[in-house]
Structure 1
Amino acid sequence: MSATGLRPPRHQADPRAVSWWTVQWLMLMAPLAGAAVAAYALFTSRPGWLGALVAVFALGCLALAVVAPRVSYRVERWEVTDDAVYTRTGLLTHRWRVAPMSRIQRVDTARGPVQRLFGLADVTVTTASSAGAITIGGLGHELAADLADHLTARTQATPGDAT
């Protein structure tokens, strides 16, 4: 692959990110599954075929909450070189993002309450691109802080107007 071509990122999220993502999925899917079961119990005459359909739906929601984070962990990648920040995300459709150092305008870190429980953080790299910022999620909070410091120093040392 050429130096200017699309570069496959080398790093995965922190392994603790799988647990964090599982909690996030469960926070979304458990109420959805519970609402389906409650609606079945409260608002129908409880036909057996509909009960089976609701049970399959509820189990599917919970299975998705367990499987999706593990697939994300295997698929999502990131890397920072002297020239650019590279990410690959997406479960069904892989999305590659490249941000040249000369185009980086801002570097942020974020740690939500659940992330703090798992010792994780996100690093967001903002450019002038209309596609939006690039987020490297699920990093150990120390690595995220070091990465933000490195990106800030590297961006300042890179010639260009960041636009």
Structure 2
Amino acid sequence: MTEHTANTALRLRPPAHRVSRRAIGYWTATAAILWIVLVGLQTVIVVTSDDPPSFLTVTLVVSCVLAPLHLLVMPQWRYRVHRWEVTDEAVYTQAGWLKQEWRIAPVSRIQTVDIERDPFEQLFGLAKITVTTASAAGPLRISGLAHDRALELADELTKTTQAVRGDAT
């Protein structure tokens, strides 16, 4: 490793790779389900109640305004923010939309690599990778990866981790 590589390899920086574009649809669909349930419950109460509380009518109107805005803005914003990168030295992640988090984990600290897919992720052909490290900050998660890319990345991380000497503590 050159001196330049050693000095820049583990600095916190924006990771190079974006998640799959299909993540936009996934984030939109999962948020839409929550909004439908919320607006639906509010609507049922307002429509079926003889004297609905005025605050509930106000929250229903607010929900009907915020829901489409959230569904238009949030998935696009998250897509622009969510990034990942794996090098021989570290795993870099960047996630969030209102609260953004940048994480870096040296490969020598990796303990496990897991792939997970909930039913909606399966519908969208997506997966998430969880990289557990010997860190009190908890595992790194890379969400919104194309399933095939997640499998390749897990294989790559496993090989890289096995090649690094140490006990990941």
Shared fold (TM-score greater than 0.5)? yes
1:92: Cα distance to partner?
1.7
* 8 Å CA contact retained: 1:123, 1:136: yes
Q: Distance in 2 between matches of 1:145 and 1:7?
A: 25
Name the counterpart of 2:71: 65
Aligned partner of residue 85 in structure 2, secondary structure = strand
Show CA shifts across 1:50-103 (max 9, x none). Answer: 646522322313431332111100111111111000011121222111110000
Change (3 A) 1:109 1:51: same
Name the counterpart of 1:115: 121
Q: Distance in 2 between matches of 1:94 and 1:44?
A: 44
Q: Distance in 1 between matches of 2:166 and 2:125?
A: 35
Q: Distance in 1 between matches of 2:122 and 2:15?
A: 26
Name the counterpart of 1:26: 32
Q: Distance in 2 between matches of 1:84 and 1:50?
A: 49
Give the CA RMSD over aligned residues: 2.1
Q: Distance in 1 between matches of 2:86 and 2:143?
A: 14
Aligned partner of residue 35 in structure 2, secondary structure = helix
Name the counterpart of 1:104: 110
Q: Distance in 2 between matches of 1:75 and 1:153?
A: 28
Q: Distance in 2 between matches of 1:161 and 1:50?
A: 56
Change (3 A) 1:50 1:103: closer
Number of matched pairs: 163
Q: Distance in 2 between matches of 1:47 and 1:95?
A: 39
Q: Which runs of 5+ in 2 are unaligned?
A: none
Aligned partner of residue 144 in structure 2, secondary structure = strand
* Equivalent of residue 134 in structure 1, options 137, 140, 151: 140
Q: Does 1:156 align with 2:162?
A: yes
Q: Which runs of 5+ in 1 are unaligned?
A: none
For normalisation by structure 1, the TM-score amounts to: 0.90
* Equivalent of residue 41 in structure 1, options 41, 47, 67: 47
Instruction: Choose 150-159 or 87-96, whichever is displaced more.
Output: 87-96
Report the AA paired with residue 111 of structure 1: R
Q: Does 1:77 align with 2:83?
A: yes
Identity of aligned residues (%): 45
For normalisation by structure 2, the TM-score amounts to: 0.87
* 8 Å CA contact retained: 1:120, 1:138: yes
